[in-house]
Amino acid sequence: MLTENNPKQKSFIADLTYRPRRNRKSESIRQLVQEHRLHPSDFVVPLFVIEGSDCTQEISSMPGVYRYTIDCLTKQIDHLMELGIRAVDLFTVVPSERKTADGAEALRRNNLLHQSLQTIKKAFPELCVMVDVALDPYTNHGHDGIVDQNGNILNDETLVILMTMSLLASEYGADVIAPSDMMDGRVAYIRQALDQNGFTDVSICSYAAKYASAFYGPFRDALESAPKFGDKKTYQMNPGNILEALRESSLDEAEGADMLLIKPGLSYLDVLTKVKEQTELPVGIYHVSGEYSMVMAAAEKGWIDADKVFEETLLSMKRAGADFIFTYAAERIAQTLCTLLPKSRY
């Protein structure tokens, strides 16, 4: 047994040649050997758009996150661009009086989404603008698809609407279509429609593995899109399954997806890693509203440092294999990174 005064132990310590702490002894060395890094260009910023002008509304359940009218949205995007962020994902807040069972507002030309796309792409042609494609913001029942009289979500009938939504968004300037609905076959359906209508350069970022998670609550507050009956378990995935996620990802890749997305984030890093191992496509992860709001709530109590926790969280996603990250913390982390990265690198 080795003890403090044991000569064998002293000899072992004297002969120890590898000391991992040597690579941690200064900030410059720690940065030199760091394996994974965050950069503002890793982030996709979810943005919420409302009707009107000269208005921003803080989302009560997501401190520091806002809904913007289009004129204010362009100012926010200009700020994000200055921070080195190059991608956003648009979500529109639809007034309740225009929500219907069939989500008809989603197909109305020049709706709020289309106006936002035109304005943003004109002002920031170099920005990557993604568009979330799903029916839940537009329906009065809050589900991602057409519902029959028995409360069943109709897969194939919904595909036709998702296809038209994608075509319209592409016409108004979307760079990337991001279907989040989890209907079977939607990637193939959308890809074929885009190609046949001259939008071969429009990408598809598929929510390949979107789980029926309890972490989405604040997001649904932001869009006022919580389901009015039942849940989304017949189309979003069972949190207990990983082989299903691999199968879903393979199907979406075969159907023509250009990127794959895993949602939520921290609770599904194992899924991210497994999907990354089986595909050559870029794979992202969505650091969702509940994950963001939990950190902000604890920070408001003084229990944690929000910026440090966000940085550690997002690094874990990079370490697990994420090529890009959807996150509501993008702006605050990019501001931190601005102090570390020379502007020429953006």
CB 324 within 8 A of CB 87: yes
> Is residue 6 included in any domain, yes or no?
no
Q: Bridge partners of 139?
A: 100
For the chain, give the longest Cα–Cα distance.
83
> Is residue 139 included in any domain, yes or no?
yes
Which is catalytic among the residues 10, 75, 228, 263? 263
| pLDDT (0 to 100) of residue 18 | 83
> Is residue 4 included in any domain, yes or no?
no
CB 101 within 8 A of CB 140: yes
Query: Measured between alpha carbons, how far is residue 23 from residues 18, 27, 64, 156 in Å?
Result: 11, 10, 37, 56
Backbone angles phi, psi at 192, to 5 degrees: -65, -45
CB 59 within 8 A of CB 66: yes
- Write the DSSP symbol of residue 237: B
CB 271 within 8 A of CB 242: yes
Query: What's the CATH code of the domain at 202?
Result: 3.20.20.70
CB 124 within 8 A of CB 152: no
Write the DSSP string, 217-278: HHHHHHHT---SSS-STTTSBPTT-SHHHHHHHHHHHHHT-SEEEEESSGGGHHHHHHHHHH
Write the DSSP string, 73-86: HHHHHHHHHHTT--
Which is catalytic among the residues 8, 75, 121, 210? 210
Backbone angles phi, psi at 89, to 5 degrees: -130, 125
How many of the other CB atoms lie within 10 Å of CB of 124? 17
57's enclosing H/E stretch is strand 56-58
Domain that holds residue 185: 38-345
| pLDDT (0 to 100) of residue 344 | 42
Q: Clarify whether 263 is annotated catalytic.
A: yes
> Is residue 281 included in any domain, yes or no?
yes
> Is residue 26 included in any domain, yes or no?
no
Q: How would you write the pLDDT of the chain (346 residues) with one tens digit per residue?
A: 555 566 556 565 556 778 899 899 998 999 899 989 999 999 999 999 999 999 999 999 999 999 999 999 999 999 999 999 999 999 999 999 999 999 999 999 999 999 999 999 999 999 999 999 999 999 999 999 999 999 999 999 999 999 999 999 999 999 999 999 999 999 999 999 999 999 999 999 999 999 999 999 998 888 888 888 989 999 999 999 999 999 999 999 999 999 999 999 999 999 999 999 999 999 999 999 999 999 999 999 999 999 999 999 999 999 999 999 999 999 999 999 876 555 444 3
Q: Clarify whether 210 is annotated catalytic.
A: yes
Looking at the 3D structure of the chain, how many domains does it have?
A: 1
The whole-angstrom separation of Cα 315 and Cα 321 is 10
